[in-house]
Structures are given as C-alpha cells and as structure tokens.
Amino acid sequence: MRMRLRQIVMVAADLEAAEAQITEHLGLELCHRDPGVGAFGLRNALFPIGDQLLEVVSPTRDGTTAGRQLDKRGGDSGYMVMLEVDDLTPLRRRFDEHGARIVYEAVADGIVGLHLHPADVGGAILSVDRADTWGSWPWAGPSWRDHIRTDVVEAVETVVIAAFDPSAMAARWGELLDAAVIDDSIGLADGGEIRFVASSDGNEGVCGFRLRASSPDRSGEITICNCSFELVSA
C-alpha cells in the first residue's frame, strides 16, 4: 500500500496572525479556505508546500475540538497529521482489529478521509485519506497547484510529535499504519518521516516540523503557532 505524508495541520487562536507568519517566514501563498470546516465551528487557511499542504484551523465558537486543544496546550499548537494512501480497506480493518475508533469520515467529490480518535492513537488527530486520483487532493480546492511557491521551502520532510513515552507512541502508530518503527521514527515511502521525541514541556502532541529549504541560505529554525520549523537544505 502506498502511503505518504501529505498535509500538516496546526491550530491557532488568531488565524490572521498565523497566516502572516507563514507568508513572511516560509514564503508560502494562501491557496484555499474550506467553507466545509464551518460545520465544526472552524475557519481555516491552506498553503501548498510543493505538492504537500500546510493548514491552520481556528475556532469560531465555543465547544470545538480545536478550541479544547488550544485550552489543553495553553495556546497554539500542532493539531493533525494527514497521510495519503491508495487503499483504505486494509486500514479500516486494521483500525477495527486494534481498537482505533474512526470519529469522522470526511467525504468530498474525489476523496475520502478517515479521522481517528486521538485517544486511540496518541499525539495528534491522525487522518488517512484516499483520493480517486493519486496526488489530486481536493481538500485544497480546485486550483491549489497554481499557488505553489518554493522560494523558501520545497517540501515537508518530518513531523515531530512529543510524547511522555516516545517508544510506546511510535509503536502504536506503527501498529495502526502497519509501518516499521526504527529509533522511534516511522519512515514513509515518499521519504517523509514521523518522529517521536520526549516531551519537554509536560504536553504531548505535534511540536515541530522539518522542511526542505530551497537553498542553504534559507536554512534555519523559526517558531510558528508554538511549533518549531527546522529548515534544512538538501
């Protein structure tokens, strides 16, 4: 089964401030706002990074899952990890066998996504998504490729997730995804990586990302939505 790191998601109390930082520091361009997230009391912004996506969501009312995440983490943070797969059937079976609840099945024209309960996975909301056409990614709108900008960054290479017990959380993700775990990391077929590290602030969850910079002079580290973005040139 093909599986790749396709979209990373953060939650922010101030969406406009997060957008401004993304545009300024990562050189990315807004490609879409999904009106569908309004049903969950959210608004969002999506930015392509090569053929991957960075999304920020922000609650518009009380009682949302995203709002509870803000309260739990004491501010902005990482939120979701979205993987593109070419077959959901074996994953549905595997989730059932290993006691991971599907809390929401997102369906749109040309794509289906399964969101797992974070309590059954650990560290983040994990979504596995299958598009009718590999790589199309309708969640990002009809013209997202027209907004790709790679002057600063070209790809998402790694998602970093903090855990009280990194080895245990890595093993759980590997179990659910039928993926090998090496040194508390899961390597994906496209070269992407999900890395689990010890929590340093008493919280568990997505805490950082490693992005491939477009050139050595773009390398460095910045913080957006309390997540560390490490920019590293090839």
Q: What is the pLDDT of residues 36-84, one digit of tens each?
A: 999 999 999 999 999 999 999 999 999 999 999 999 999 999 999 999 9
Which has more confidence, 40 or 189? Answer: 40
3-233: CATH superfamily: 2,3-Dihydroxybiphenyl 1,2-Dioxygenase, domain 1 (3.10.180.10)
Report residue 211 CA to chain centroid gap. Answer: 13
Confidence of residue 190 (pLDDT cuts 50, 70, 90): confident
User: Which has the closest alpha carbon to 150: 29, 10, 56?
Assistant: 29
pLDDT for the residue 52? 98
pLDDT for the residue 126? 98
Q: Would you list the domain boundaries of the chain?
A: 3-233
Paired tokens of 125: 């909301």
Whether residue 207 contacts residue 78, with contact meaning beta carbons closer than 8 Å, is answered with yes
Q: What is the DSSP letter of 117?
A: P
